[in-house]
Chain A
């Protein structure tokens, strides 16, 4: 395997988990999420010679999110049961409640709002970078984030407590 290919595979292995999860948050469909992540990584590979390091991750993330916003203009279709790792019963119940709450919220958002929410709050990007990656103005990101959080307040009254993360 060429050195560049080996570097790409190492990058893809490291990035794929978060890309798949981001796509899952946007689509609610695990298989669709994997397809989208695979597409984003293939396009990243195609441009690998001119993108490096953090740029590669940014590039893959941007391709993924725009791909999902623009090609799949439809609401989240379902809230499938994920395969959860083995945990205590209480943990499983918490995880299921959290997932249901999360997808109930995401399901009220448009594809573009979901993209902004995922970039802002899952990838923790600043507003200016979200605007840049989605090709919209910072004002649009601010107003859309604000609207999205309004919706969260509307459906989030019975939000479960989230006890840390699995990262």
Chain B
């Protein structure tokens, strides 16, 4: 028996008949929710979804530098168009509003070109401090910038383990509030550490390209987001890959 045969046999021999059955009712509920969102996307009726903060409580470190000029996008992807009208104002749950804090951006505030009336979707890093996570010093915010330059953060994502600069993908931010349509939808976004020149997601069997911008503080950090016109906010990616300039997968 060679290695492959031995491996094949071991994988099958370890199949357990004792695993708990999956909650298929929950599967169907979640599947219906996904289907609803896809249908909304198909009719162009992009839903407004409450954005929530990620994962771990973060301590404010308000000593970051002031906002800088927007970064240029790396890719030549399509210019975003408005996907929603200006939103109704609402006060989200305090747990879900990093915007209630006053973190200053670290480095460039990246313009996405996505507009909501007078506001524009932007992405920027902020300093964070989590005692349990000494390797995590930054988080990425999806926010909105008013015409006068004022920033309103909607969603903060940060690593919840390890280091914030390890090579590869980090946390990915999604709209998560389903039918609670309060704030402008946050495009799916995140960052990748490495020499990526293209990032491509897959969802529902199709490939969706991300827009990219390098972070001014560390060019090895690539901020990416998906245009709401190509990936409906809140719809989970089935996969995501980063490619270098030769088209090789990183």
A-side residues, CB < 8 A to B, are: 5, 8-9, 12-13, 16-18, 20-21, 25, 30, 34, 37-39, 41-48, 59, 62-63, 66-67, 69-71, 73-74, 82-85, 95, 98-99, 101-102, 105, 117-118, 120-122, 124, 135-136, 140, 149, 152-153, 156, 159, 162-167
Contact = CB atoms under 8 A, between A and B. Distances in A.
B236 A39 contact: yes
11 contacts: A12-B22, A12-B24, A21-B19, A34-B20, A38-B26, A42-B30, A70-B240, A84-B16, A99-B14, A135-B207, A165-B13
Contact of B15 (A5, A73, A120, A165): A165
B90 interface: no
A18 to B, nearest CB: 8
Nearest to A162: B9
Contacts of B241: 70, 135
Contacts of B240: 70-71
Interface in B14-51: 14-24, 26-28, 30-32, 34-35, 38
B12 interface: yes
Interface residues of B, number: 46
B249 interface: yes
A82 B18 contact: yes
Nearest to B20: A34
Contacts of A101: 10
Given A21-B15, A38-B26, A102 B31 contact: no
B238 A98 contact: no
A140 B250 CA distance: 12
A165 B3 contact: no
B57 interface: no
B4 interface: yes
Contacts of B28: 5, 8-9, 42, 45
B20 A135 contact: no
Interface in B78-134: none
A59 B31 CA distance: 14
Given A43-B236, A135-B239, A121 B8 contact: yes
A102 B43 CA distance: 48
A117 B20 contact: no
A18 B34 CA distance: 23
Contacts of B74: none
B149 interface: no
A71 B236 CA distance: 10
B208 interface: no
A12 B35 CA distance: 17
Given A9-B28, A71-B172, A135-B202, A124 B237 contact: no
A21 to B, nearest CB: 5
B24 A13 contact: yes
Contacts of B17: 17, 85, 166
Given A45-B32, A98-B14, A101-B10, A59 B19 contact: no
B217 interface: no
